Structure 1
Amino acid sequence: MPTPPSPTSKEKKSCQILDAGHLFQIDIARGYLLISLPVGILMLLLVRWLWRQWLIAKRDAGQCMARVLLVGSPASVAQIGPELQAQRSFGYLVVGACVPGARIGSRVEGSSIDVLGGLDDIQRVLAETGADTVAITSSDDLPPEKVKQISWSLEAGRQHLVLAPSIADIAGPRIQMRPVSGLPLMHVETPRFSLGQRFGKRMTDLVLTGIGVIVISPLLMLALLVKFTSPGPVLFRQTRIGYRGHEFTMLKFRSMVVDAEERLSELQEQRNTGAIDLDAGNSVMFKMKNDPRVTSAGRFMRRFSLDELPQLFNVLGGSMSLVGPRPPLPSEVEQYADHVHRRFLVKPGITGLWQVSGRSKLSWEETVRLDLSYVENWSLAGDVTILVKTAKAVLTPGDTAH
């Protein structure tokens, strides 16, 4: 009889896998799927994250950037230009602007952007600067035919045209582009505050706050530090304005001397007369980097935001949320413009966009913009992102917590 052929190494491996599957009673196909699917998803997310970090590092070094020439009115260039320059990770490098009627060589008022020409100089400026993107910031002085001419003059495949609408602080999911008869119409969904959204946010607050109170309970011993380092009560209670404009009592560990509120008017008067330099806060919110009313223990607690831990009980009581706009003082609300009252459509938060975006260094206009942006674009995923950034800021505090 002829000798049967010896099995190949591949056949041996297949037999071993089948024997192992039979021995442990595992369905190889299903087991492989159960393992490979989650592992594959995690690896995909990891690779995408690594590529993103690589790209951010490149852009921080000035590479892999789109060189942008802004075209529009001075006001629109001054509004959109700084936003594009705010973070290199956006991938836009503003090289200058073409502004109708402006003097070449000057700067756009309210920005650091140089005026390189007018509407008829776009091609020359593109060639001189090597810009590969033209961003139309406003169409007041640009009829549709002129915008078409600009797009036709760009080099196909290398140069690009971007149209920047005047509306800002709108999250991506609320925007839809719908071409109608050749017109690219942008539809912006109005913000919704449904009962289901409020219920989900409330349940998230209760669960995370309950866990947080248990985890950080040892830190509540800070009450002893407050008690033994300065005379007065442990907790500081202050009236703030919350959801729908209703007043509530906000809790904090006392970080200032007992008569801090009485001394505030004196400090405000000194600020108004120029006797002291206000190195933090803004025109509405009073903050000082080296406030003389802050106790030694209070300075430590404020650096790591530990004085705000009792606000977790405000969250449990329902007057606050973990994430939301800053709860203002009644005296601050008296100075609000009408549109600023939109921040009362949601509950105030222990942390929020303004806290993780600069805090005491922000101007009043920037603070309002961030709070209103949160109100308009709230999402559970956004809350989680803010909480993660807050944890990072607490563990590695900079010089914005006063």
Structure 2
Amino acid sequence: MKLVVQVKLLPTPVQAAALEATLHACNEAAIWASRVAFEKGVRRNFALREHTYGQIKARWGLGAQAAQHVIKKTCDAYAVLRANLRAGNSGKPGSKRYRKTAEKPVVFRPHSAQPYDDRMLSWQTDQCRISIWTTAGRQRDVEFTAAPEQLDALARYRKGESDLVRRDGMWFLNATCEVPEAPLNDDPVDFLGIDLGIVNIATTSDGEITAGREINRIRVRERTLRAKLQRKNTPSAKRRLKKRRRKEARRARDINHKIAKHVVAEAERTGRGIALEDLTGIRERVRLRKSQRAAHSSWSFAQLGQFIEYKARKAGVPVVYVDPAYTSRTCAECGHIDRANRVSQAWFACRNCGFVDHADRNSSRNIRARAWELWRSGAESTAPVPSPEHIHRGGAGRKRSVTASDARCANPSLLLGG
């Protein structure tokens, strides 16, 4: 399976200036190539190369490999855009949102990621050094830092392209690694049901509860602080907003990695599979009070599910998604379904047999039972091979940044960190 290992570069000021000039040149060339592709209706790699390759090399001083990667990045962006339009992610055809997306060329940010192959980038993993091509010439002995497990993955499994990324004044390389998967456990003894929620992030059918109080409290605090700084609208407030952006997302991702790692390790240790709810489209289905909308919108259940999926594939643990309908109203003991069974957010009390349990634990037991029934009827593991059509949107308006790793991993944030 393909995973992305992210390492942090530690360039000198001269090296950083060369890297920044390279990113600017590549993305300016990509913007121009995108306009040509849009105006001429040419969206395929070889066809677009006939119209742009020579001018990109001459006008922006890019090497042959860099020019080809710029053209490929542009074509990948249009392929992702076409897939999103077809999937209805930009509204219905003919709607204002659809037209705004489809009737303008893709635009790349100045610091959008640039792919590098082995001709443009070489790794000295044992010395934590790289040699990388730039418009100012080859930059040798650029230092990088990474955790021991990341260095091990780079040394053993790195294969394919890497993406150069600049974020918040820091430089990163996202390297693709072909990590071997363990053989899938085709005969699990049972399933570990996982109920996902906002108050409790994850509750297992074994009774383990990961409370969301801390992260929810942090989200409220961050939301309040953002509103306060936005009202001030001073230069110092803007600097602080810029410094704190993505902090909440990084914390949530770290928590999701830890939960997923624990869940998969427990399932692997006990020879069980993992059962999850299929919550696709839940944001469109539910109606919420205004006070609940922010918490529901920031609920990262999809990310946690993706983390569990790829860690399970790596460990050979089967994953089954089940229909979530009535799991919170069904008694795990007698199967009686009644809205009144859910006494409160925290407690479940069956009106038929009198069974009392924590509401989320009762739901997770129902999820486990449904997964076991599906598995015995011949269902296969639904931890899918990563899809090539994932887009990382950058900023507001019509600017969209698409990285090369988007075409190799279902979610570029699935960094080897948990």
TM-score range (shorter-chain normalised) is under 0.3
TM-score (norm 1): 0.23
Structure with larger Rg: 1
Q: Choose between structure 1 and 2 for higher RCO, CA contacts under 8 A separated by at least 6 residues.
A: 2
